A and B are shown apart, each in its own frame.
Chain A
Amino acid sequence: MPTKIEKDSLTGRDTTGHEWDGLKELNTPLPKWWLWTFYACIAFSAVWVVIYPSIPGWRGTSGWIAREAVVAEVAEANARNAPMMARLREATPAQIAADPEMRAFATAGGRVAFANNCAGCHGAGGQGAVGGFPSLADDDWLWGGTLEAIQHTIRHGIRSNESDDQRQSQMPRFGADGLLTAAQINDVAEHVLSFTGRATDQAAAGRGAPLYAEQCASCHGDRGEGNREFGAPRLTDQVWLYGGSKRDIVAMIGNARAGVMPAWGQGRLDPAIVNMLTVYVHSLGGGE
């Protein structure tokens, strides 16, 4: 409580009685309407508390819940998109790509679906990652880069045993299962390196040639050109899924690895979204 209310000599008005190092404050009364505005705000907040879900457990008399509002908005957006989604569901990826309106919608929606479902392995821009996550932006495809091939891969997956039409192949573990000796694996690896002109031991590469023809050529091709039917990578280019050094190649022959991708079309994603993803992935730069 102020104790020393005094008259200010200059203005003749009361002070509040507060003093800070000789500075005194004039008592300028607040207008009453302002005080009432303050009380009105308090009353308003009481009403607010009753109407809205202001306390945990209290749903409010208005029935408005932020979560439900979002759900309603999402439903509304889905309803708005429903005709276009129906068209995307019926159309083939080629038809979508040829229609500017469907293509624009599919690319925009595909970008979001890709970020939600695919980017975890394939990277934000489809750049992939060394160690078995293929790049979708380059011109090298294991199972094919046409719209139809991409759609099939997304729909049925790879080695995930969720679809009868899945992409399926398995490279034998030549070392771990004793199919080839360590020396033979070294020779085959040198032969594989020779496809890209990197063999350092021509004698070993020569020894590897018949082994390669016998064990590998059926899938990877006589000259390492690969085979998309089996998802067998091309061995003549500069894109190596599990690394292209001799050490990597030896490790791969000895103890083969293979990636797995879910079958997104088997109850995971709407067929329309699979089509959108197909068109989007095709547009990343490697589409054929």
Chain B
Amino acid sequence: MSNVEAPHRAKADRPAEAPVSAAAQPLYATRQKVYPKRVFGKVRSVKWAVLMLCLALYYLVPWLRWDRGPGMPDQAVLVDIANARLFFFWIEIWPQEIYFLTGALILGAFALFAVSSLFGRLWCGFTCPQTVWTDLFMFVERWIQGDRNARMKLDQGPRNANYWARKGLTHAVWLLIAAATGGAWVMYFADAPTVTMEILTGAASIQIYFFFALFAGFTYLLAGWAREQVCTYMCPWPRFQAAMLDENSLVVTYRDWRGEPRGKAKAEGVGDCVDCFACVHVCPTGIDIRDGQQLECIGCGLCVDACDSVMAKLGRPKGLIAFETLKNLSASAAATAGMAPGPERQKAGMAARHMPRFIRPRTMMYGGAIAVVALAMLGAFLLRSTLDVTVLRDRAPLFVRLSDGAIRNGYTVKIVNKRREDTPLVLDLRAPEGFRMVVQDAEHDPQGRPLLARRADAISQYRVLLTAPAGARLAESTPVTFRLLEPNGREAASQSSAFLGPRP
């Protein structure tokens, strides 16, 4: 959050420029285990819904079927490495068209930038797989070992049968989920029912077991053990997303102008924060949101729910912790400067806020980039040909002089047929008068034109020899065009090339 000037820093009133002390911070930090407390509320409900949607998509999509006809995989979403095809419902991507995947990734990146600059760390807090699976694993943990206090007590208590039973069960369920996760990953690369049976019966290949174990192992490790350490220390995204956030982005914020000074609920002259630590206890990364914007905050908003329920109990307005822009936070702080705690200050502070400015140069640029990439991809997709011809001219030799002085060039013609049809195509030549075309191993139609077979969903290759008649006045390079005609005479594809001869 380096470019965001947080208006309030609770830590700032610590002593400055303390002298060199022997008890300086150590170079290595022991991990403080986080015991997040269960929480109820609006944000939590949204998080559950997003979690279920994401997991359902991940686990179930490989099982969707899509009929592509005989001999073709009937899995709706499939990365077929062996046959170099990517299937997505009715779309079939060849390796030559991998730019569609690139485009989708660029689109995803810009969408992430746009969402981050508008609403803060929505990705981190709600949809990132690390967050989703950690949430799921925490749910299991809470279900078996109890809530925050019970878990802390269990960890500090004796290592008895109860301890081992609960811990063992937790890890068993985690491993089961991890196995399902690794299994689902493999299913995107192989027929789901088949590969499931293979894995279960021990008939799968070593590669499948490797990737299954890799993803299962890392799911267990990252969601069960590493958790917030991934976000804080491993993930680069929290570090550079600060570049997308500004004072107009919605971020999870503690309204210090309303909460400070903290004190007991019944005390006089204190703010709305009763220092109950509910926000700290529910935090999955174990931080105190009241310290201001910080790298560790994933923006999940669970502290919003926790604080709201406390405020509701106390009969105070909700929103002491809220999704708020830093601009509004400054405005509220400025409007309430010097005011005594109480409903007046609360009203004045809330009145100073404005609708977040969603339309600003940064978001316009992200939106523009999304529009450009989306249009380019749409255009490329609509104009995508399902039949291509490529012509590779021989480089060695550039041309051959025949015994009667005629000049001949060789070409490799490839028919890229992404369709299921396999009716032969007529190869037609656009070239100066007298040029002769011979295709090795080709049949000919009644007019004597070569008929090129095309294999369904494959590349067919032909060698074509083009001869300029002896004595023809040839330029060093003569343009020629190869056209593929459907049986009805319609042009299916064409490709221009050059016919090279000696320097005149």
Contacts and interface: CB of A to CB of B under 8 A. Distances in A.
Contact of B405 (A9, A10, A125, A238): A238
Contacts of B394: 125
A238 B14 CA distance: 97
Given A10-B12, A125-B397, A234-B403, A35 B18 contact: no
A285 B403 contact: no
21 contacts: A6-B17, A9-B12, A9-B16, A9-B17, A10-B9, A11-B12, A13-B25, A14-B24, A30-B29, A124-B396, A127-B397, A135-B397, A137-B397, A138-B401, A139-B403, A237-B404, A283-B463, A285-B400, A285-B408, A285-B410, A286-B400
Interface in B229-252: 229, 233
Given A30-B27, A32-B30, A125-B394, A4 B20 contact: yes
Contacts of B465: 285
A29 B410 contact: no
A48 B255 CA distance: 55
Contact of A27 (B9, B25, B402, B440): B25
B21 A5 contact: yes
Given A7-B17, A33-B229, A140 B28 contact: no
B15 interface: yes
Given A31-B29, A283-B463, 4 more contacts: A9-B16, A29-B26, A32-B28, A35-B28
A7 B14 contact: yes
B159 interface: no
A239 B29 contact: no
B31 A32 contact: yes
A170 to B, nearest CB: 24
A106 B403 CA distance: 28
Contacts of A9: 12, 16-17
B395 interface: yes
A28 to B, nearest CB: 8
Interface in B1-52: 9, 11-12, 14-21, 24-31
Contacts of B29: 29-32
A243 interface: no
Interface string A3-26: 011110111111000000000000
Contacts of B410: 125, 137, 285
Dominant secondary structure at the A interface: loop
Contacts of A4: 20
Contact of B11 (A12, A27, A286): A12
Contacts of B14: 7, 12
A126 to B, nearest CB: 8
A154 to B, nearest CB: 20
A94 to B, nearest CB: 14
A5 B27 CA distance: 12
Interface residues of B, number: 37
Nearest to B408: A285
B18 A6 contact: yes
Interface in B375-419: 394-397, 400-405, 408, 410
Contacts, number: 101
Interface in A234-263: 234, 237-239
Nearest to A27: B25
Interface string A102-145: 01000000000000000000011111000000010111100000
Given A6-B20, A12-B12, A31 B27 contact: no
A64 to B, nearest CB: 16
A30 B28 contact: yes
Contacts of B403: 138-140, 234, 237-239
A34 B28 CA distance: 9
Interface residues of A, number: 37
A241 to B, nearest CB: 12
A125 B16 contact: no
Nearest to B399: A127
Interface of A: 4-7, 9-14, 27, 29-35, 100, 103, 123-127, 135, 137-140, 234, 237-239, 283, 285-286
B24 A27 contact: yes
B236 to A, nearest CB: 15
A9 B18 CA distance: 9
Given A31-B229, A137-B410, A125 B395 contact: yes
B235 to A, nearest CB: 14
B56 to A, nearest CB: 33
A5 B19 CA distance: 8
Nearest to B16: A9
A125 B24 CA distance: 74
**Residue picked from A12, A100, A123, A135, most chain B C-beta under 10 Å:** A12
A266 B316 CA distance: 101
Nearest to A236: B403
A138 B406 CA distance: 10
A123 B20 contact: no
Contacts of B31: 31-33
A100 B442 CA distance: 12
Contacts of B9: 10-11
Contact of A239 (B19, B24, B395, B401): B401
Contacts of B229: 31, 33
B401 A238 contact: yes
A85 B12 CA distance: 81
B18 A123 contact: no
Nearest to B409: A285
Contacts of B408: 137-138, 285
Contacts of A127: 396-397, 400
Top 9 closest pairs, chain A to chain B, by CB: A127-B397, A12-B14, A9-B16, A237-B403, A125-B396, A29-B29, A7-B18, A124-B396, A140-B403
B400 A137 contact: yes
Contacts of A14: 24-25
A283 B440 CA distance: 8
Contact of A5 (B12, B16, B20, B395): B20
A137 B404 CA distance: 14
Contact of A29 (B20, B25, B395, B463): B25
Contacts of B26: 29
Contacts of A286: 400
Contacts of B21: 5
A11 B291 CA distance: 10
B464 to A, nearest CB: 10
Contacts of B30: 32
A245 to B, nearest CB: 15
Interface string B410-436: 100000000000000000000000000
A283 B29 CA distance: 72
